[in-house]
Structure formats: structure tokens, C-alpha cells
């Protein structure tokens, strides 16, 4: 073999050896694991949909993502300590679900990126000065485009049950629902409906429904609240037991047996939260990400539940429904 061929063979071997060594080193260098905290005021749940949505973007738990969740179980005074714990554990992003969790997270840090998810006006609530350009460590995904949709939901409920002159309004012990109550009181007054406000205390739903029945409520408006999403099966069962036509927040509650719901697409919102987390993990500043508001809303109706409580729904209402569950 000539000297030139010897030299070529040597250089080729050297190059392959270097490439192999680099690949071996890369394989031994673990990928950075990003830390996501999720703060909720509700009782513990098996999982949220956020980690699943993140997995579609390449963030896999146990590989490059770690998720820590904190649930206050309805005890709002526990939220500040939980928020501080997530900050101390050096989360890369904290998702705060609901107004109370948002306030706790905001008080705990001015540097860790916060993504809020809820049904509130972030400017009026004092989180940011501009929804279009928050300019701080806070951004978020909102459930409604304006207000809380309470007025529209009451109109639809009244259309479903036109004889209901008294409507029960089920509330949790959470001050973050006050805006809903204000909007609903105004809408009820305009429609000539008497609003029967019933607050669930200590998750005693039996007592709450007993109050609704005693007050001769003809329908039920379930507040948009993560508490009632967690406890939806109990609420749905009691509404059917007492034959109360009820309006809920999410289509998933209708899928579980609730009569009707009007609102944004929950799965789409969760995907947008995941998209914001993905952007922040990759270096985006939350202050440069505008608060997003949904532009599409859907009406879901469960006809099986309507039949179970002896309710005949107007054909015009059924025709407007985006989803009818038989």
C-alpha cells in the first residue's frame, strides 16, 4: 500500500474515532430537565392535562421534564406557603390555576415565570397593567373573551327552562368568583329572574342542594370553578336526583351527565398553556407573551340527562348546540 493510502486510512480512522468519542460523550451528558410547578386551590386530582399536552411538544416526564403539583384542598390560606415552596424548589415555570393561586404565586416571586389560567380580568385583578404586553414575569390563558360568560350562560339556561323564575347559583368558598356573581346578578335582574345564591361550605353538597330545594329553585347555575370540576360527579348526581336543570362550565361536565354547558374548548386551552410553557422553556420572556383569550365557544347539551329529569328542550336551542350527547 502506498504512503498516500496509508495516510488516508489513518485520517479516516482518526475521524471516525473522534466522531464516535463525541457521540459517546453526548450520550453520557444528560439532557437538562425543566421543572414545572402547578398550583391549584382544589382537592388533589390524578393528573392535569398539561403534562400530556407538553408531551406532544417533546417535553416528557422522567426525561426532560419534571412536574410538581400542589393542591390546597379548598384551604386558600395554604396557597402562599405552597407557592413559596415551588419557588424554593427552583421551578422554571409555575402554572397558577385560578385567581387565588395566581395571587399567591405573584406574591411569592417576581422572577420565576408565571402562567395564569383562569376566569378573571388580570388587569382589574392587579396582576399586570396590560394584557397585550404584560411586561413582567406573568402571562396567561383566559377562559372567556370578556367577563365570565355568566350572562350568556344564564340566557341559555333560561331558554332551556323558560318557567324557571328562581335560579340557584352554586358558589364555592372562594372570593375569585365574585366577578361571576356580579355579572350573574345583573343578568338575572334584566331577565326578571330571582337568583338564589348558595355557597358550598366544607364540600357539604347535600346541605347546599337541600337549600336550593327549600328555596324552590327551578334551575341551577354552577359557578365556573375548579372546585366544581373536581367535584363534578357529585354535583351532577345531586342535580339529577333533585331534577334540577343545570348549566356547567365545560363540555366534559356534560359528558359526565351534566345537562348543558357553554364555554371555551378546555382541551384547546390546555394546548395553549402547554405552548406558552414550551416558549418560556425555550427562552421567551412571559412579559412579551400577551394574555390569550378564546375566540370560539361551544354549547353542549346532554339529551339523556334532559330525559332523566323530565325536561323537554326547545328545538331551536338544540339546533344551536355544537354538541348533543344522546
The ranges of the chain annotated as CATH 3.40.50.2300 are 34-143+265-288, 150-263+297-325
Q: pLDDT tens across 262-315, in order?
A: 999 989 999 999 999 999 999 999 999 999 999 889 999 999 999 999 999 999
Q: Supply the pTM of this predicted model.
A: 0.83
- Helical packing angle, 178-191 and 150-160, nearest 10°: 40
Which pLDDT does position 155 carry in this prediction? 97
> Using CA of residue 61, residue 64, residue 65, residue 66, what is the dihedral sign?
positive
The three cell numbers locating residue 49: 392535562
Dist. CA 167–CA 188, nearest whole Å: 9
pLDDT averaged over the chain? 90
> What architecture does CATH give domain 150-263+297-325?
3-Layer(aba) Sandwich (3.40)
**pLDDT band at 19, cuts 50/70/90?**
low
The secondary structure of residue 206, as a DSSP letter, is H
> What architecture does CATH give domain 34-143+265-288?
3-Layer(aba) Sandwich (3.40)
Dist. CA 306–CA 312, nearest whole Å: 7
On whether the CB atoms of residues 196 and 169 are closer than 8 A, the answer is: yes
Dist. CA 288–CA 286, nearest whole Å: 5
Dist. CA 198–CA 121, nearest whole Å: 24
Which pLDDT does position 25 carry in this prediction? 46
| Percent of the chain clearing pLDDT 90 (strictly above) | 74
Question: How many CB atoms are closer than 10 A to CB 3?
Answer: 7
Whether 121 shows a pLDDT value over 90: the answer reads: no
The three cell numbers locating residue 32: 437538562
Residue keyed to cell 405552548: 275
**Beta carbons within 8 Å of 155's beta carbon, 6+ residues apart:** 187, 191
Amino acid at each position: 500500500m502506498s504512503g498516500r493510502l496509508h495516510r488516508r486510512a489513518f485520517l479516516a480512522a482518526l475521524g471516525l474515532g473522534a466522531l464516535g468519542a463525541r457521540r459517546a460523550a453526548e450520550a453520557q451528558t444528560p439532557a437538562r430537565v425543566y421543572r414545572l410547578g402547578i398550583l391549584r386551590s382544589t382537592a388533589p386530582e390524578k393528573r392535569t392535562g398539561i403534562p400530556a399536552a407538553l408531551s406532544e411538544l417533546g417535553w416528557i416526564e422522567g426525561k426532560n421534564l419534571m412536574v410538581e403539583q400542589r393542591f390546597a384542598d379548598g384551604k386558600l390560606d395554604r396557597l402562599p406557603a405552597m407557592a413559596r415552596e415551588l419557588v424554593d424548589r427552583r421551578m422554571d415555570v409555575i402554572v397558577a390555576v385560578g385567581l387565588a393561586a395566581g395571587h399567591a404565586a405573584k406574591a411569592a416571586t417576581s422572577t420565576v415565570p408565571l402562567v395564569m389560567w383562569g376566569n378573571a380580568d388580570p388587569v382589574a385583578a392587579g396582576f399586570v397593567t396590560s394584557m397585550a404586553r404584560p411586561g413582567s414575569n406573568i402571562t396567561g390563558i383566559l377562559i372567556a373573551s370578556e367577563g365570565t360568560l355568566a350572562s350568556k350562560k344564564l340566557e341559555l339556561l333560561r331558554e332551556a327552562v323558560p318557567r324557571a323564575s328562581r335560579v340557584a347559583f352554586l358558589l364555592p368558598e372562594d372570593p375569585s368568583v365574585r366577578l361571576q356573581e356580579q355579572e350573574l346578578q345583573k343578568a338575572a335582574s334584566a331577565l326578571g329572574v330571582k337568583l338564589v345564591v348558595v355557597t358550598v361550605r366544607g364540600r357539604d353538597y347535600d346541605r347546599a342542594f337541600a337549600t336550593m330545594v327549600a328555596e324552590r329553585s327551578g334551575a341551577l347555575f354552577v359557578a365556573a370553578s375548579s372546585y366544581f370540576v373536581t367535584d363534578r360527579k357529585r354535583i351532577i348526581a345531586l342535580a339529577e336526583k333533585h331534577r334540577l336543570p343545570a348549566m356547567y362550565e365545560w363540555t366534559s361536565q356534560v359528558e359526565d351527565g351534566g345537562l348543558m354547558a357553554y364555554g371555551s374548548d378546555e382541551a384547546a386551552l390546555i394546548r395553549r398553556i402547554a405552548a406558552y410553557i414550551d416558549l418560556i422553556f425555550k427562552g421567551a420572556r412571559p412579559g412579551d407573551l400577551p394574555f390569550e383569550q378564546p375566540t370560539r365557544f361551544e354549547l353542549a347539551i346532554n339529551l339523556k340527562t334532559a330525559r332523566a329529569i323530565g325536561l323537554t328542550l326547545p328545538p331551536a336551542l338544540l339546533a344551536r348546540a355544537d354538541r348533543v350527547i344522546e
